Amino acid sequence: MNQRELLAILRKLGPEQVIDGHELCPTCDSLSPSIDMDGETIVHCPICRDKGIVSTEEAERWRQEMRERFGTQR
C-alpha cells in the first residue's frame, strides 16, 4: 500500500483511526498546504510536512503538546 492509498483510506475512516501505525495528521486534516490569514502565505504543516499522514507517535506528541500548551485540567 502506498502513501496515496493509505491517505485515501484514512480520510474515509476519519481522524484518529490508525492503520499500520499511521493516522491522519491532526493539525491539517490532510488537505493541501493551507493559506495563512493574509491570504498569501502558504502554511506548510510542520507535523506531517504536508503529507497528511503522520505516525501515531507524532500525532500523540502533538496532542500532548496541545494539552500542555492550552491546558485541559479540570
Interface residue list for Zn ion (CB under 5 A): 25, 27-28, 45, 47-48
Q: How many residues does the chain have?
A: 74
CB 39 within 8 A of CB 59: no
Nearer Cβ to Zn ion (20/31)? 31
Kindly state the smallest distance separating residue 40's Cβ from Zn ion, in Å.
20
> Where do the DSSP E strands lie in the chain?
22-24, 34-35, 42-43, 53-55
Select 43 or 73, whichever has its Cβ closest to Zn ion: 43
Q: State the minimum distance, in angstroms, from the CB of residue 1 to Zn ion.
A: 20
